[in-house]
Amino acid sequence: MGNPDAKITQKDGEKITYKDRNISFVMENEPVYVGNIVFECFHRSIPMHAHSDNSYEIHYISGGHGQVTVEGREYEVVPNTLYITGPHIQHSMIPDASDPLSEYCVYLKLTDRRKYAGKPSSLMQRFRDTVVWYGNDRHRIHALMRMLFEELEGKNLGYRTQVESLLKQLIIACVRNYSVETTDRDPKGQQSMDYQYLTIEEAFLYEYGTLTLTDLAGRLNLSTRQTQRLLLDHYGMNFQRKKTEARMSAAALMLRSPGIGITQIADAVGYSSVEHFSSAFRRYYGESASRYRLKMQERIRKQDAGQIAEADEKDT
């Protein structure tokens, strides 16, 4: 096969896919299961979508230009762009029609978080905790991807061992791209204040439904009492109040989408029943979730109508 970049032609739909190979390996005592391994040239857009619990995609752009949207934020993609999307992270992709995107994508499935007891500073824990990342690769991921495809096509003696080794190197390269160096920790092993804030904010941003005080304290290398003090000193609220704030913010955003039922939202933000969610939402916003949804839909309708009117004025 040689270089898969050369083999793919600029024709929509042509791609190289490896799946159902029963590839798995153990890294830092955590089983890692491999789903699709794909190289594709995109003329078509990829609509907004997300993947299930414990699922991670490593996206590497080897050629072309375009745009990706991840959790509502837009990014330009060019050759050597790397971006990571973890569980339930909404993302889409639009290629430049004149310069289609070529992308390597590796889909990994990790174990349930509750079954993995990795140290907060471990490589796999950092990979697991980074559910969104975008930037330029600095650790030769393109070369790793090409070797991975060569092994998968050639199936030479020992290829499965080689594939597992290359996938491990790929995870290491990802973490090296986005991890904070050990110099950002003090001599006692605690994280720098800047990294503590980042850890706290990412935890509440992406794990508002499941995060516990014990989990957060472990990632910060602090006791639960120290963690509560840190939250009070720098955010003016304790853990439970900050978690409620994160849950309500996420719920309010989901209520803007008419296709998501209130029962689904209650489950997504971590409430045991829709009744508990509805009561918490009313206390926080001073109105029911249903009423809030109607208000938001009306506001969106008026905004859309205003944009249409403005466009009509420009056309005349």
Measure the CA–CA gap between 130 and 179, rounded to whole angstroms: 9
Number of structural domains in the chain: 3
- CATH number of the domain that residue 87 is part of: 2.60.120.10
Give percent of the chain with pLDDT exceeding 70: 84
CA distance readout (Å), 32 to 59, 71, 259, 279: 17, 25, 33, 40
Domain boundary among 140, 157, 178: 178
CA distance readout (Å), 28 to 92, 117, 125, 164, 168: 31, 10, 9, 14, 10
- The pLDDT of residue 311: 53
- CATH number of the domain that residue 308 is part of: 1.10.10
Average pLDDT over residues 114-142: 82
Asked, for residue 144, whether it belongs to a domain, the answer is yes
Residue identified by tokens 């824990």 is 125
Average pLDDT over residues 251-277: 91
132: β partners:
85
Asked, for residue 247, whether it belongs to a domain, the answer is no
Asked, for residue 100, whether it belongs to a domain, the answer is yes
Instruction: Say if residue 207 is in the same domain as residue 266.
Output: no
Tell me the pLDDT tens digit for each residue of 124-133: 988 998 999 9
Instruction: Say if residue 81 is in the same domain as residue 169.
Output: yes
Measure the CA–CA gap between 128 and 56, rounded to whole angstroms: 8
Residue 158 has pLDDT above 70, yes or no: yes
Residue 250 has pLDDT above 60, yes or no: yes
Asked, for residue 246, whether it belongs to a domain, the answer is no
Residue with the bigger pLDDT between 302 and 113: it is 302
Greatest mean pLDDT among 90-99, 159-168, 195-204 lies in: 159-168
Instruction: Say if residue 57 is in the same domain as residue 10.
Output: yes
Asked, for residue 241, whether it belongs to a domain, the answer is no
* pLDDT interval class at 219 (50, 70, 90): confident
Residue 181 has pLDDT above 50, yes or no: no
- Average pLDDT for the chain: 84
Measure the CA–CA gap between 80 and 312, rounded to whole angstroms: 41
pTM equals 0.56
Is the alpha carbon torsion for 115, 118, 120, 122 positive or negative?
Answer: negative
Measure the CA–CA gap between 55 and 109, rounded to whole angstroms: 5
Average pLDDT over residues 57-81: 91
Instruction: Say if residue 170 is in the same domain as residue 195.
Output: no
DSSP 150: H
Average pLDDT over residues 144-161: 93
Instruction: Say if residue 113 is in the same domain as residue 230.
Output: no
* pLDDT interval class at 195 (50, 70, 90): low
Element (H, E) at 88: none
CA distance readout (Å), 58 to 41, 90, 218, 233: 16, 14, 26, 37
Asked, for residue 244, whether it belongs to a domain, the answer is no
- CA–CA–CA angle 220, 222, 224 (5° rounding): 110
Instruction: Say if residue 17 is in the same domain as residue 166.
Output: yes
Encode 66-100: b = buried (16+ Cβ within 10 Å), e = exposed.
bebebeeeeeebebebbbbbbbebebebbbbeeeb
Q: Which two tokens stand for residue 84?
A: 């990571």
- The pLDDT of residue 136: 85
Average pLDDT over residues 40-60: 91
The rounded radius of gyration (Å) of the Cα atoms in the chain is 22
Instruction: Say if residue 25 is in the same domain as residue 163.
Output: yes
Estimate to the nearest angstrom the gap between the alpha carbon of 175 and the chain centroid.
14
- The pLDDT of residue 121: 58
Domain that holds residue 117: 4-178
Domain boundary among 236, 262, 277: 236
How many C-beta atoms lie closer than 10 Å to residue 190's C-beta?
A: 14
Domain boundary among 139, 154, 178: 178
Instruction: Say if residue 126 is in the same domain as residue 147.
Output: yes
Instruction: Say if residue 156 is in the same domain as residue 199.
Output: no
Instruction: Say if residue 41 is in the same domain as residue 169.
Output: yes
**Which residue, among 130, 132, 88, 129, has the nearest Cα to 218 in the 3D structure?**
129
Average pLDDT over residues 187-212: 72
Average pLDDT over residues 274-290: 94
Instruction: Say if residue 228 is in the same domain as residue 313.
Output: no
Asked, for residue 248, whether it belongs to a domain, the answer is no
Instruction: Say if residue 93 is in the same domain as residue 210.
Output: no
Average pLDDT over residues 211-216: 88
